[in-house]
Amino acid sequence: MAAPSLTEELTNTATALFEASFGPSDGCAVVFAPGRVNLIGEHTDYNGGFVMPLALGKKTVVVGRGSMVPREKAGSAGCRIISSAAPEVVSFKADQDLQPGKVEWANYIKGVVAAFRKDVPEGYELSFDAAIASNVPLGGGLSSSAALEVSMATLLEEITGVRVGGVDKALRCQWSDHNFMGIPCGIMDQFVSALAVAGTTLLVDCRTNAFETVPLDDSGVVFVVTNTGIRHRNASGAYGERVQQCKDAVEAIKKRHPEVEQLRDASLAWVLEVKDEVDEKVFKRARHVVSEDRRTLCCAMALRRKDYGIVGGCMTESHTSLRDDYEVSIKELDLLVSIAMGTDGVYGSRMTGGGFGGCTVTLVKAEAAEALMTKLREEYLAETGNACECVVTSPCDGAGVLVPLRRPLFKNTALRIAASVALVACAVSAVVAASRGRGSCGVRAHGHVA
């Protein structure tokens, strides 16, 4: 008998947790969303720039069911959630007074619920139970929070019956980060978790939300993701500080070049013009962002040509810039990159994610991957006294439904009619959005939250 897949294991864990917490799981939906690794394009998303992530095989699975209940009957109804990583039920009301609470992980979900309240017909409230299991490392720079948000958004699509579309889903989850977590993040993490395509990486224009797939299906090369074991926190002041420094750089450049709205619009020459007018850190942050955008576009072109020497060079230059100009690397990340770059068969290596901990990603010949992982584990342990986790990854699909919700969504005619009207309105909005033309990546731009 074949061993269960990782997805099946997560589904079994979440199902058992649901039944232990809320009763029989008959009729439950099973949905998932993956974590991600960013090949290149770090700290460019909130500057309107370009990123190139792919979805990991590691994912978050949610087992749940729910409905929309009349407000006058919602007294005892509400939302109940539990996670295998924090096995205590968190309960809350999905009404207009929904606010962040003391349980931090639950705030990611509350924010997503708040973003979906507009899809609930007037006079009704969301009510659901959900159990969560995940193998995306927490604080590893692989977007465990985005996987949680997007998987929950996918469950809410099942409950409300409204399919909002991948871009809209990502934007709602980003809104949750901004408003319920206080994290001024860009769109990349939620975007790739919602929209990734197996066998490809996504080149995303974070200003227009246009994207195109770049094939990544050469069996001769693989990516190795290595976890330092050191957790990072985007909510710390260092992240917000860099967001503000980028804005300060834009204000300085804008005095000479009024057309600059974000660092994505600037050239390196224009950044150099203001070097003596801004704080040194502001200059360095701007230099990283502008050069990183160029590296990302160059990397995408090289990847299409399977020119892995250039791809690897772009990755390694990116790490140097993140270490020296953006100052978000740490010695453990630098050590892993150094070990990788001293290994035969490696094309390039860099930190991935927001920094201050987390993971590296390394492009290596497939035949050399095992030797690389052995070397990383042995030398990292010898140098730091701590173990690192290494995995070979390939691009996977974005969020989806494994088992649709089978419980009837609506118990009365009025609600069925109201939901049908909302569904038609959503479809019309999607058609209008799809007719707006093509984005700057050369592909059709998708709709977004109005």
Report residue 19 as tokens. 């039944």
CA atoms of 425 and 100, how far apart (whole Å):
30
Task: Report the DSSP beta bridge partners of residue 360.
Answer: 226, 351
Q: How far is CA 144 from the centre of its chain?
A: 8
> What is the token pair recorded at 154?
């996918």
171, two tokens? 């934007």
Q: What are phi and psi of 101, to 5 degrees?
A: -120, -170
Provide the 10 A C-beta neighbour count for residue 450: 7
Comparing CA positions, the residue from 126, 146, 185 lying closest to residue 56 is 146
Start-to-end CA distance of the chain, whole Å, equals: 50
Of these residues, 45, 119, 168, 189, which one is catalytic? 189
The residues facing 65 across adjacent strands are 129
**Is 189 a known active-site residue?**
yes
Question: Could you write out the DSSP letters of every residue in 137-173?
Answer: PTTSSS-HHHHHHHHHHHHHHHHH-----HHHHHHHH
Indicate which residues carry an active-site annotation: 189
